[in-house]
Amino acid sequence: MEKIFKKARVAVSLIDIYAYIFYAFLIFFVVLLFGIRSCSMGNSESAILKSNVEQTDANLILSNLLRTPVILDFNNPKSEITISDLIILWKSDKSYEVRLKNELNSILSSSYKRCVVFCIDNTQFLVNDCFLFIPECEDKYSQLIPDLNREIIEVSINPSPTAVKEK
Amino acid sequence: MKSNKKSQFFNIFLAFGTIAILFMALFWLSPISWNNSIGKRQFDIIEAYQAKEKNLMYIDQSAKLAVYKTLDTISSKGGFYSEQYSCGKTSRDYFLWNTNDKNISECFPFVQRNFENKFKDNLNFYLEGQKDLKNLLNKYEISLVGNNVVGIAKAMLFFPKEPIKSMNDSSIYKEYEFDKYKLTAYYKTNCDESYLDHNYYAESTDSFNLIKDGNVNLGNKFLHADLRYKNYDKSDYDLESWTKAGIQITDIGESPGKYCYSYNPNPLYNFKLETTSDGKTACSIETADYAGALYEGNDLKTWNKDSGDNSCADSKTWLQCPGIKVYYCGKTSYDTYPEREDEYPDWRAVKDDAPRIETYFVEVRNDEHTEAYHIHSKTSFKFLVELDSAVKNQGKSVERDNFYKKWVSDSFSYAKTRIVSSGVKGEKAYPFYYSISPSFNVQFDTGISDYNGLRDNSEKLIEQCNGNITKLSVCIKDYIQKNNLNYKSNINGNIAEFDVPSSRTIITQEGNKAVLKPVTYKFALAFK
């Protein structure tokens, strides 16, 4: 009787072992399946994610940039305007160009390490080294601001692609 | 034993159950996670949030420019924004804070109220430039709180796009080829009374936003010609609350007591349709063959009310631009009783069979031609506006009546509004909307409190220098020096004009140029 019980116990434990092995293989197989499928989608997904994150960043940087205060006359603290005001002044008086360029350089170079094209309508201001980047104005990250006569000024930034950044 | 058998079944069931669950998960999850980008909804929310931020940025900038413009206007007008409520001004346009008859307490401006009113006008001017913000026009409650200008919005903004109700009430979201259309009626009035022999031309014009308060603005539109003048201002004319007429008072009469008769008042010889998108002209067309062409006496033909079709859409005269068609639906007119001129406005309808109308036109009452009386005629031109996506090009149809032919006067009751399908460029259904109340807060010292100081000094100046007219210049100079003020004064007789620059700088327009300059308060004081 005892022998019979022993055999039965061994048989039962063997079935258990087979089941566990099968179970482990199954999990491995499914994980593999998930992995293969996610790999095939992963590259495009991560590219979309990266682009979305960059877009969010660029819009935020542009919006903050336009609100950045600038003191035009250091002897008069009440002469504080913003970059958007400086753009309005620059539109009708190009003598503000040097000041505008300096402000854009100091603000944008702290956010981007590589080339950034800052555009006011179709006029480009290049910040950082743009050797590997063909500068173009894109309206993907843009903001409209009115000038004194309600003419709409389109301001945009076009940072160089991440690939170029990482070189 | 029984329990051992059960445990074997349990293991087998667990294995197969897991297989089933994992495969189900594999296939059920795939359309959710792989057919849509990861985080798409989250990024949609961020996108909506950014669209909101962009509009708020535009509003903030508009509010700031409106503050600049308002400060510039009211400081140059002594705290007033219109001549109407002031005690007059000098020949160099310095507004008086007192006169020989009135003291400062009677003439001093309500600066805060004036600022708020003018600011609202200016803000609307800027918001009109942005199509997503047009429904905010006139919907702000403006107040000055400390150094801040606060605007509380009474309307909501929707992002990514405002839901627009179409005319047939189906809730779809549309984008139109243009955001504004403008109608202009060019009409003519003869004033060929024998000794004046004077004809002149005028125009009425009005712009209509395509989308206003969530409704598409079309159907019957009117332009009004009403020749009634404000007595005191040559360049202005009374709009009679809703009319527009563009005749300069200097065009009428040559000397006091002269007047002219009118023949067939206000024949419409030309009308023009213009569409604009984002402030730029998208299309412009007029019935005249070339801009400015005058068709002497040739009145534009309208629809045939005897045809049995009660719609103006069979009008002989229409203009179209891509996405819009406008029919001319005739005019109606009233004139005043010349014999009851003192009781005007008291209108009578001009009948179809009326003879030539020979009532007073406008009579010049004083030497400076600044005072003119008598409403001559009030004419309304009616147009039927349809949005039609099938209209791809600009085009026109023009027919004209003989000058002396009787004119349709009561056509309006027949013409029905007809709505055609809307001019849709693109439709996009968004999964959600982000709505905000786009209130703003501009931190800018408006300098309203400066006026208290200016008033105090003005009162002291008047007290000190009154009765000292011969040495007015010296007296004012003394006061300025003693009190260490940065006033610049210019004296002309008993009137002193003052320029007081402040340290606040604003961006303002000088000619075609935007310049940064200090706010300068300008006002004048009268001395006895």
Helices (H), A68-116: 83-92, 97-111
Contact yes or no for A67 and B57 at CB 8 A: yes
With a CB-CB cutoff of 8 Å, which residues 359-398 of chain B face chain A? none
Contact yes or no for A19 and B15 at CB 8 A: yes
Contact yes or no for A89 and B503 at CB 8 A: no
Q: A64 and chain B: CB distance < 8 Å anywhere? A: no
Cβ neighbour number for residue B325 with a 10 Å cutoff = 20
* Token pair in block for residue B267: 């024949």
Contacts of A56 in chain B (CB under 8 A): 43, 46, 50
Most confident of B26-40, B325-339, B493-507: B493-507
With a CB-CB cutoff of 8 Å, which residues 223-242 of chain B face chain A? none
The residue that leads in pLDDT, A109 or B289, is A109
With a CB-CB cutoff of 8 Å, which residues 126-145 of chain B face chain A? 126, 128-130
Contacts of A8 in chain B (CB under 8 A): 4
Are the CB atoms for B63 and B149 separated by under 8 Å? Answer: yes
Q: What is the mean pLDDT of residues B179-183?
A: 79
**Cβ-based neighbours of B458, under 8 Å, separated by 6 or more:** B97, B98, B104, B523, B525
The pLDDT score that the predictor gives to residue B205 is 67
Nearest CB to B126; choose among A22, A56, A150 = A150
Nearest CB to A45; choose among B37, B64, B65 = B37
Contact yes or no for B513 and A92 at CB 8 A: yes
Contacts of B68 in chain A (CB under 8 A): 148
- pLDDT bucket at B209, cuts 50 / 70 / 90: low
The pLDDT score that the predictor gives to residue A44 is 63
Nearest CB to B26; choose among A33, A81, A144 = A33
Contact yes or no for B504 and A78 at CB 8 A: yes
Which one, of A119, A115, A128, lies nearest residue A100 by Cα?
A119
The pLDDT score that the predictor gives to residue B246 is 33
The residue that leads in pLDDT, B31 or B206, is B206
Residue at A17: amino acid letter: I
β-pair partners for B204: B185
The pLDDT score that the predictor gives to residue B458 is 92
The pLDDT score that the predictor gives to residue B528 is 82
> What end-to-end distance do the CA atoms of chain A give, in Å?
77
* Token pair in block for residue A59: 């819009």
β-pair partners for B286: B272
Best residue in B22, B47, B60, B61 for a mutation probing chain A (most A CBs within 10 Å): B61
- Give chain B's mean pLDDT: 67
What is the SS3 assignment for B147? coil
* Token pair in block for residue A165: 């950044």
Under DSSP, the state recorded for B403 is: T
The residue that leads in pLDDT, B403 or B136, is B136
Phi and psi, residue B348, nearest 5°: -130, 145
Contact yes or no for B512 and A92 at CB 8 A: yes
Q: A33 and chain B: CB distance < 8 Å anywhere? A: yes
Contact yes or no for A30 and B279 at CB 8 A: no
Q: How does pLDDT run across B403-420, given as a tens digit for each residue?
A: 443 333 333 333 332 333
The pLDDT score that the predictor gives to residue B316 is 82
Q: A17 and chain B: CB distance < 8 Å anywhere? A: no
On the 0-12 / 13-18 / 19+ scale of CB atoms within 10 A, B526 is buried
Residue at B97: amino acid letter: W
User: In this model, does residue B191 exceed pLDDT 60?
Assistant: no
Contact yes or no for A88 and B515 at CB 8 A: no
SS3 content of chain B, % helix, strand, coil (to 5): 30, 30, 40
Q: In what order do the strands lie in the sheet with B440-443?
A: B140-145, B148-153, B440-443
The pLDDT score that the predictor gives to residue B435 is 65
User: In this model, does residue B497 exceed pLDDT 90?
Assistant: yes
User: CA-CA distance, B356 to B192, in Å (whole number)?
Assistant: 13
With a CB-CB cutoff of 8 Å, which residues 127-166 of chain A face chain B? 143-152
Nearest-Cα residue of chain A relative to residue B49: A56
Nearest CB to B57; choose among A56, A89, A143 = A143
Q: A70 and chain B: CB distance < 8 Å anywhere? A: no
CA angle, B190 as apex, B185 and B192 as ends, to 5°?
170
The pLDDT score that the predictor gives to residue B356 is 34
User: CA-CA distance, B404 to A90, in Å (whole number)?
Assistant: 58
Contacts of B22 in chain A (CB under 8 A): 26-27, 30
Q: B28 and chain A: CB distance < 8 Å anywhere? A: no
Contacts of A69 in chain B (CB under 8 A): none
The pLDDT score that the predictor gives to residue B295 is 52
Contact yes or no for B57 and A27 at CB 8 A: no
Give the β-pairing of B140-145 and A123-127.
unpaired
The pLDDT score that the predictor gives to residue B72 is 92
User: CA-CA distance, A151 to B219, in Å (whole number)?
Assistant: 29
Distances (CA, A) of B333 to A4, B247, B252, B349, B410: 118, 18, 21, 6, 9
Chain centroid to CA B217: how far? 15
| Secondary structure, 3-state, B188-246 | EEEECCCCCCEEEEEEEEEEEECEECCEECCEEEEEEEECCCCCCCCCCCCCCCCCCCC
Nearest-Cα residue of chain B relative to residue A52: B43
Are the CB atoms for A144 and A62 separated by under 8 Å? Answer: no
User: CA-CA distance, B253 to B238, in Å (whole number)?
Assistant: 19
User: CA-CA distance, B242 to B228, in Å (whole number)?
Assistant: 12
The pLDDT score that the predictor gives to residue B523 is 93
On the 0-12 / 13-18 / 19+ scale of CB atoms within 10 A, B336 is buried
Q: A19 and chain B: CB distance < 8 Å anywhere? A: yes
Q: B482 and chain A: CB distance < 8 Å anywhere? A: no
Report pTM.
0.55
The pLDDT score that the predictor gives to residue B12 is 72
Q: What is the mean pLDDT of residues B420-428?
A: 32
User: CA-CA distance, B78 to B513, in Å (whole number)?
Assistant: 24
Contact yes or no for A37 and B34 at CB 8 A: yes
**Cβ-based neighbours of B486, under 8 Å, separated by 6 or more:** B500, B501
pLDDT tens-place values along chain A, 167 residues long: 556 666 666 666 777 788 778 778 878 887 887 777 666 666 666 666 776 677 777 888 888 899 998 888 777 777 788 999 999 999 988 889 999 999 999 888 888 877 888 999 888 888 887 766 677 777 777 888 998 888 889 898 888 765 334 43
User: In this model, does residue B338 exceed pLDDT 90?
Assistant: no
CA angle, B512 as apex, B511 and B513 as ends, to 5°?
95
Nearest-Cα residue of chain B relative to residue A87: B514
Under DSSP, the state recorded for B339 is: G
Best residue in A148, A151, A153, A157 for a mutation probing chain B (most B CBs within 10 Å): A148
Q: A35 and chain B: CB distance < 8 Å anywhere? A: no
The pLDDT score that the predictor gives to residue A66 is 92
- pLDDT bucket at B214, cuts 50 / 70 / 90: very low
- pLDDT bucket at B174, cuts 50 / 70 / 90: very low
Percent of chain B whose pLDDT exceeds 70? 54
Q: What is the mean pLDDT of residues B99-116?
A: 86
For the ranges A126-135, B104-113, B225-234, the lowest mean pLDDT is seen at B225-234
**Cβ-based neighbours of B48, under 8 Å, separated by 6 or more:** B159, B160, B430, B432, B433, B434
Distance from CA of A164 to the nearest CA of B (A): 24
**Within a 13 Å sphere around the CA of B525, how many CA atoms are in the beta-carbon half?**
27
Q: How does pLDDT run across B358-407, given as a tens digit for each residue?
A: 333 444 444 444 444 443 445 667 788 877 767 778 888 888 765 443 33
**A-B contacts at Cβ under 8 angstroms:** 124
Nearest CB to A15; choose among B8, B43, B514 = B8
The pLDDT score that the predictor gives to residue B389 is 67
Q: B85-123 burial, b for 16+ CB within 10 Å, e for fewer?
A: ebbebbeeebbbbbeeeeebeebbbebeebbbbbbbebb
Q: A104-123 burial, b for 16+ CB within 10 Å, e for fewer?
A: bbebbeebbebbbbbbbeee
**Cβ-based neighbours of B355, under 8 Å, separated by 6 or more:** none
The residue that leads in pLDDT, B325 or B30, is B325
- pLDDT bucket at B65, cuts 50 / 70 / 90: very high
Contact yes or no for B507 and A93 at CB 8 A: no
Q: Where are the domains of chain A?
A: 2-166
Chain centroid to CA B388: how far? 25
> What end-to-end distance do the CA atoms of chain B give, in Å?
125
Distances (CA, A) of B165 to B138, B195, B360, B384, B418: 21, 57, 48, 20, 17
Q: Where are the domains of chain B?
A: 1-35, 177-427, 450-526
Q: What is the mean pLDDT of residues B100-129?
A: 86
The pLDDT score that the predictor gives to residue B241 is 30
Q: A10 and chain B: CB distance < 8 Å anywhere? A: no
